Amino acid sequence: MTVGNPMANYAAARRAGDFVLVSGVVAVDASRKAIVQSYDELPQQAQEALHAIGYVTGQMTVDLYEAPAVAQSWFVLERIRRIATEHGGSMADVIKLVQYFRDLRHYPFYNRVRGLFYPGEPPASTVVEVSRFMPGDAALIEVEATIYLPGLSSRT
Q: What is the tens place of the pLDDT at every residue in 66-90?
A: 999 999 999 999 999 999 999 999 9
pLDDT band at 10 (very low <50, low <70, confident <90, very high): confident
The residues spanned by each domain of the chain are 13-148
Split at pLDDT 50, 70, 90, the class of 103 is very high
The CATH number that domain 13-148 falls under is: 3.30.1330.40
Residue 156 has pLDDT above 90, yes or no: no
The Cα-based distances of 109 to 6, 27, 155 in angstroms read: 25, 15, 36
CA-nearest of 78, 95, 97 to 27 is 78
Rounded distance between C-alpha atoms, residue 12 and residue 84, angstroms:
11
